[in-house]
């Protein structure tokens, strides 16, 4: 029932923005033969008054959801169906929360990365390279007109979720992170080809590069994250020292060469510690 044109009959739904007072729809299951016996299963029909999405939400929450909850379907099928139904309802009512959860899930991957004991700077760079595409795509979507319009509506409605959404959106720094971490790429690749006795002369440059990242990167400007980056560098030095030590040589009695390698490893670790403390003192001054 069109507000100005009266009763309308058509094969398609009203156009977006078209104002109708009521809607009656009749549809047939594709390929179904309609007889008196099959009519109830083959034909679906209903009436809708008011805003269609609001009516759909009301039907889902008041009629459909309770029936599914009380049904005796197989548990796995019921759980999967219920999950999809919840996502659909969330899309109608809480899309900002859904977006926030998606962004938070991707950003939490970074926090998991920070806690890995065996991760080095090169693994950190590889991680951000793989994550960059996803985060950049989300960032582009957030700039779309439709998204901006939704944010304006929520701002007018004084939504409690908008502030958190903005905070998460500003944390999407994939390209920025890659740019700053690239300062470590060449030095760390060079380091990976060296023996422990050759490493000491390369360490100051790396510490200064990490300090530059700390001072300029929006992501790595917290004590926790820059500490994580230094820990990754320590992991890399430990890895390089460990792979240079041959346990078979030690147990086979090659004591002189084995001791020389162990001394080199100890000196390498001490050089890393001394370099860090020296640059740290300069930084505080």
Q: How far is CA 32 from CA 28, 43, 117, 238, in A?
A: 7, 9, 60, 69
Segments in the chain forming alpha helices (H): 39-42, 52-59, 65-70, 75-93, 95-114, 121-142, 145-156, 161-170, 174-191, 196-216, 223-244, 247-251, 255-284
Q: What is the DSSP letter of 14?
A: P
Nearest by Cα to 125 from 184, 173, 171, 172: 184
Can you name the residues that pair with 280 across neighbouring β-strands?
A: none
Q: Where are the domains of the chain?
A: 1-50, 53-93, 95-175, 182-284
Instruction: Output the tens digit of pLDDT for each of the chain's 285 residues.
Output: 877 788 888 888 777 667 777 888 899 999 999 999 999 989 998 887 766 667 777 788 888 888 888 888 888 888 888 888 877 776 666 766 777 777 777 767 666 655 555 788 888 888 877 777 776 777 777 777 777 777 777 777 676 677 777 777 666 666 678 888 889 999 999 999 999 999 999 999 999 999 999 989 888 888 888 898 999 999 999 999 999 999 988 899 898 999 999 999 999 999 999 999 998 888 888
In angstroms, what is the C-alpha Rg of the chain? 31
Interatomic CA distance for residues 42 and 31, integer angstroms: 9
Which pLDDT value is given to residue 80?
Answer: 87
Task: List the end-to-end C-alpha distance of the chain, in Å, as a whole number.
Answer: 77
State the pairing for strand pair 43-49/22-28.
antiparallel
Question: In whole angstroms, what is the distance from residue 43 CA to residue 83 CA?
Answer: 27
- Which of 190, 135, 111, 128 lies closest to 209, judged by CA? 190
Q: Among candidates 275, 266, 265, 263, which has minimal Cα distance to 243?
A: 265
Rounded CA-CA distance 262/218 in Å is 40
Q: Write down the pLDDT at residue 62.
A: 83
Kindly state the DSSP code that residue 56 receives in the 8-state scheme: H
Give pLDDT, residue 69.
83
């Amino acid at each position: 029932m069109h507000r100005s044109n009266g009763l309308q009959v058509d094969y398609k739904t009203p156009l977006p923005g078209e104002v109708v007072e009521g809607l009656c729809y009749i549809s047939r299951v594709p390929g179904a033969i309609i007889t008196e016996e099959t009519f109830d299963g083959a034909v679906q029909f209903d009436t809708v008054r008011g805003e269609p999405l609001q009516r759909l939400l009301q039907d889902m929450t008041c009629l459909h959801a309770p029936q599914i909850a009380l049904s005796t379907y197989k548990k796995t099928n019921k759980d999967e169906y219920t999950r999809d139904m919840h996502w659909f309802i969330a899309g109608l009512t809480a899309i900002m929360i859904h977006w926030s959860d998606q962004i938070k899930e991707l950003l939490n991957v970074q926090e998991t990365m920070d806690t890995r004991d065996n991760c080095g700077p090169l693994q950190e760079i590889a991680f951000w390279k793989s994550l960059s595409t996803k985060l950049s795509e989300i960032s582009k979507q957030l700039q779309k007109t439709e998204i901006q319009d939704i944010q304006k509506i929520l701002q007018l409605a004084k939504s409690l979720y908008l502030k958190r959404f903005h905070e998460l959106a500003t944390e999407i720094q994939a390209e920025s992170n890659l740019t700053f971490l690239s300062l470590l790429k060449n030095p760390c690749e060079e380091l990976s080809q060296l023996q422990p006795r050759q490493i000491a002369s390369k360490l100051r440059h790396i510490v200064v590069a990490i300090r530059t990242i700390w001072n300029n990167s929006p992501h790595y400007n917290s004590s926790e994250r820059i500490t994580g980056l230094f820990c990754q560098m320590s992991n890399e030095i430990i890895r390089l020292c460990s792979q240079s030590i041959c346990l078979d040589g030690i147990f086979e009695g090659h004591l002189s060469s084995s001791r020389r390698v162990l001394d080199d490893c100890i000196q390498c670790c001490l050089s890393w510690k001394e370099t860090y403390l020296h640059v740290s003192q300069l930084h505080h001054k």
